[in-house]
Amino acid sequence: MSYYAQRRGKLLLAVGALIGAVLAASGMLESSQEFLPEGTIALVDGAEISTSGYLSLLEQMSKDKRSPLQSADRRQVLNRLIEEKLLIARGLELNLAYGDPRVRKTIVNAMIETAVSEVASARPADSELKRFYADNSSYFTQPVQLRVLRMVFRGADGELRARRAHLALADEPWQQVQQRLADEDILSLPTSLLPINKMRGYLGPTLTDLAANLAKGSYSDVQVDGSGYSILLLVDMQQGSPPRFDSIREQVNSEYLRRAGDDALRDYLDQLRDGADVVIDQDLLHKLDALDADGNPG
């Protein structure tokens, strides 16, 4: 090799070393493996990609893939994880976590799941569930059920016929008075027992509450009902009773975990708030309250 060729080769090596040093200093080269923390497959601007998470993802992909994963597949997965870290970091730099409602919602939901995850996986003992059930038996009790008959009276003479029907019920059977004086009920009531909340869908809250307070087998006074008049007869009522614990154990368990999750989330939010510096524009709140006091929409 000539003298000039040797000098050229050394010069190229020196230039290459200088370029490598500059790139490493600027973070454009990937970190050397010797700097990786234990249990880390890669570092992306200091953010770790765990080996266990990477291997778990490979295992999941291998189940969905008919042929075994190849070297190119494994590197592609790692590249995707690296690119994901880069995109997340860039998104945080652009404040997408605060500016984009979709991103905010995703982060909030993920943090809520994190806060309640320990509770969600808990398995409370039967003794604890039974105590919870006893303390909240009214929640699990079936609602009151009613069977109600109704006469309706519409038109200009509706009130007069309703009054006559109410007097006639003292001596005549319900069906006979209904056929003789009442109008056809467009929204006829079911003949079976209905939970009180469903009965409200037929009668409305006022008439339903009235029916629930009647004695079994008795009828109401004439009631103004929308554009007409009504008389109600309480045929039957069944008070709700708490079911046996064994028959609704799973329902009790679900409600127990739901409430425990709500408590865990509340505690977590309180801790975050206690550790945060929160400043509120109280003057603006007072101005809005003043608008409410003046009767203006606030």
pLDDT tens-digit readout, 230-266: 999 999 998 878 889 999 999 999 999 999 999 999 9
Helix (H) or strand (E) holding 231: strand 228-238
Q: What are the structure tokens assigned to 219, written together?
A: 């009828």
Distance from C-alpha of 229 to C-alpha of 162, rounded to nearest angstrom:
7
CA pair distance 225, 243, nearest whole angstrom: 36
Residues 76 and 61 sit within 8 Å (Cβ to Cβ): no
The 8-class DSSP code of residue 71 comes to: H
* Predicted local confidence at residue 28, as pLDDT: 41
Residues of the chain with pLDDT under 50: 2-29, 31, 298
How confident is the model at residue 296, as a pLDDT?
A: 57
β-strands 40-44, 194-195 pairing: unpaired
Cα–Cα dist 69/6, whole Å:
46
Provide the 8-state DSSP code for 113. Answer: H
C-alpha 140/C-alpha 251 separation (Å) is 9
User: CB atoms < 10 A from the CB of 165, how many?
Assistant: 22
Question: Which residues on neighbouring strands pair with residue 231, listed in sequence order?
Answer: 151
pLDDT of amino acid 288: 82
